[in-house]
Amino acid sequence: MGYFVTSIKQLLGLKPDRPGRSEQSPRVRVIFEEKRKTRLDPERLREVEEAHAHTRDRHKWRNRRWATLILVNLLFVVSYYFDVQLVEGAMTASRVVGFHFADLNSALQVMLAFKHVVLNLVIGTVTVFILWWLLGGRTFCSWVCPYHLLAEAAEALHLRLARRGWARDYAFHRGVRAVFYAIFILLALVTGYTVYETISPTGIVSRAIIYGVGGAMGWVAALLLFEVFVSRRAWCRYVCPIGVTYGLVGSISPLRVQYDVKSCHHEGECRKVCLVPHVLDVTIRERATERTTDIAADCTRCGLCVDICPTDSLKFVYKGLDRML
């Protein structure tokens, strides 16, 4: 229940609870006490980091993620171009080898707008729900969403410009994403029109990749410029309802990133590379209450924190799988 409640709080943009010493388990208090006595000196930390930086696993999950994201989106292009009908449609709604797939947020918008439930839409929604329940919910955002790859490139450019003082990173309250979520639902219900789908960069970029670039890509370009010069990852962090929808699925998913406080000696680098750094607040010194903590469902399971951690304190786990082996 603690994991579910923490996940919902994060999705709503609420600040994480800062646990007191009384909330820490006796085992964790012993670990923190031992670490205070045997803390690694800066020189030793640099050695650990440099050794890890030269391993083959330094970008393992990032490379796998990029390859998967590109491959999935290329399947749509190849199927359309060669008319093989392997994958039909676009990212928001498709048919894969005869099976209907419907993005959960898009399906919700359609049902609310038209106030009618279509059987194929239900089938597609159930199929996608099961798929992303198995794969971790917001895994969709970092492993499949075509806009994500563009936003990741924009973020890299933003960081380079920010170091020179040419860009700023204005942070907004994360709760505005929940407000936008409610607004888009109300607009669909009241207007009878899927308002969000007309401005969704996920759908726009997906259709542009498959069918060719249209005028709507101007909106996407404007979003990227805003993220480069004003607020990094603004759309994904503060607006996109797709992330909220899949985050809700992820709150009950067995695939998670797990943090081990005992082996952690290099606190902070993981939060610097994280696409949604608030999910890693538990890695802040002496914030953990148990030896191992599952990172909550607003995590996109991108693997960047797993890649960068030199002591393997962050790793992917599949809850319940250990009992089956």
Q: What's the Cα-to-Cα distance from 54 to each of 14, 64, 280, 307, rounded to whole Å? A: 38, 18, 24, 12
Compute how many other C-beta atoms are within 10 angstroms of the C-beta atom of residue 319: 13
| Position with higher pLDDT, 170 vs 267 | 170
Mean pLDDT across 86-90: 86
Q: What is the pLDDT of residue 18?
A: 81
Q: What is the pLDDT of residue 261?
A: 93
Q: What is the pLDDT of residue 324?
A: 56
pTM: 0.90
Strands (E), the chain: 87-89, 93-96, 99-102, 255-260, 292-294, 314-318
The amino acid occupying position 138 is: R
pLDDT > 90 fraction of the chain, expressed in percent and rounded: 65
CA–CA gap between residue 133 and residue 79 (Å, rounded): 26
* Tokens linked to 80: 């359309």
Contact 8, 251 (CB under 8 A): yes
Contact 216, 147 (CB under 8 A): no
pLDDT band at 86 (very low <50, low <70, confident <90, very high): confident
CA–CA gap between residue 262 and residue 35 (Å, rounded): 8
The residues near 168 (Cβ < 8 Å, ≥ 6 apart) are 162, 229, 230, 231
Q: What is the pLDDT of residue 149?
A: 94
Q: What is the pLDDT of residue 1?
A: 56
* Tokens linked to 231: 């607020």
Would you list the domain boundaries of the chain?
2-55+252-319, 62-248
Q: What is the pLDDT of residue 76?
A: 92
pLDDT band at 84 (very low <50, low <70, confident <90, very high): confident
Q: Which of 68-82, 83-97, 130-144 has the lowest mean pLDDT?
A: 83-97
Mean pLDDT across 264-279: 87
pLDDT at 231 over 60: yes
Mean pLDDT across 226-246: 95
Place of tokens 């939060």: 271
pLDDT at 304 over 90: yes
100-152 confidence digits (pLDDT tens): 888 999 999 988 998 888 788 888 899 999 999 999 999 999 999 999 999 99
What is the b/e burial string over 256-284, where b = at least 16 CB atoms within 10 angstroms of the residue's CB?
Answer: bbebbbbbbbbbebbbeebbbebbbbbbe
32-70 confidence digits (pLDDT tens): 888 877 776 677 777 777 777 667 778 999 999 999 999
* Tokens linked to 72: 């999935």
pLDDT band at 323 (very low <50, low <70, confident <90, very high): low
Q: Which of 150, 174, 315 is nearest to 243 (CA)?
A: 174
